[in-house]
Structure 1
């Protein structure tokens, strides 16, 4: 599936920036490519930048990387619930609460790479199991309807967004 297959009511317009980052790339192909390339990106970050923040009240590189992982986990969980026709309204999450409680700055690049790879392999296995009908199923999270497919694409675009921010403002 490609982002062009998404309908306008598959996700909140707030997330359009993340979808736009993807062009018309295939969901599973891009998940696989990012699984191969993103750990290399993490490993290439100079050690003196690991706990660097470009401004007061901004996250460090380590915190931004762990935020990517946390968000993918949450989107993955939502996708599972919606794929199984769970019609419970799922709450949002407060990234500004998660980040300072992540202990990211005490983590090594190797440990974050290992965790990223585990989470992404799990996402790839989950989304590979979905057929077309399942990808189109919807549920409600953070007060908005979202499709299973949109959650996969949002994980990809969200990662790309933060990678770009790290490149532009941290490195």
Structure 2
């Protein structure tokens, strides 16, 4: 089981995601998220997947692409920190990624296949880390962040967006 991170292991901004995992096994949460997203996407029509809840907001397909893009970035950071990379990693602007993702034009099944591959890779990556690796800390966006915090952030980030989809889109 991956220990829950201390508050000094991540930027307080990420508390909104990490709190979704309080008292939960993060690897189990990542696996549950995999199933939950597949069930959710399979239950929606193409029109629903291409809809946004308000003007200027992302569509559900764009949200899914955002989850995937962000998870890849979090995993890259986790790998680098686990391997003791001391590079101060840059941040990224999520709002710059989405318009160029082409998510709404993508085949839904192909989008889900990519999501499944990424999530399976995330689970496998975090399972491969020793306790020592999970406790390692690096710097991203000028903030300290532990490998175990990144596992919780990735899982909580998805839970946050699934909650928003259920509350505002459906």
**Preserved contact between residue 2 and residue 24 of structure 1 (Cα < 8 Å):** no
**Preserved contact between residue 78 and residue 150 of structure 2 (Cα < 8 Å):** yes
Matched residue, 1:33 = 32
Aligned residue pairs total 170
CA distance, structure 2, for counterparts of residue 21 and residue 45 of structure 1: 24
* Secondary structure at the counterpart of residue 161 of structure 2: helix
* Runs of 4 or more above 3 Å deviation: none
Q: TM-score, normalised by structure 2?
A: 0.95
- Alignment RMSD: 1.2
Matched residue, 1:111 = 110
CA distance, structure 1, for counterparts of residue 115 and residue 86 of structure 2: 29
Matched residue, 1:124 = 123
Please identify, of 145-154 and 25-34, the stretch whose mean Cα deviation from structure 2 is larger: 25-34
Q: CA deviation at 1:86?
A: 0.1
Matched residue, 2:158 = 159
Matched residue, 1:133 = 132
Q: CA deviation at 1:24?
A: 1.3
CA distance, structure 1, for counterparts of residue 60 and residue 31 of structure 2: 23
Please identify, of 48-57 and 86-95, the stretch whose mean Cα deviation from structure 2 is larger: 48-57
Specify every segment of 5 or more residues in structure 2 that has no aligned partner in the other structure, as ranges: none
Specify every segment of 5 or more residues in structure 1 that has no aligned partner in the other structure, as ranges: none
**Preserved contact between residue 50 and residue 60 of structure 1 (Cα < 8 Å):** yes
Q: TM-score, normalised by structure 1?
A: 0.95
Matched residue, 2:91 = 92
CA distance, structure 2, for counterparts of residue 19 and residue 132 of structure 1: 19
* Secondary structure at the counterpart of residue 51 of structure 2: coil
**Preserved contact between residue 2 and residue 134 of structure 2 (Cα < 8 Å):** no
CA distance, structure 1, for counterparts of residue 55 and residue 39 of structure 2: 28
Q: CA deviation at 1:2?
A: 5.2
Matched residue, 1:18 = 17
**Preserved contact between residue 2 and residue 27 of structure 2 (Cα < 8 Å):** no
1:73-121 deviation line (CA, Å, top 9, x unaligned): 0000000000000000000011011000000000122111100110011
Q: CA deviation at 1:46?
A: 2.5
Please identify, of 98-107 and 44-53, the stretch whose mean Cα deviation from structure 2 is larger: 44-53
Q: CA deviation at 1:160?
A: 0.4
**Preserved contact between residue 2 and residue 25 of structure 1 (Cα < 8 Å):** no
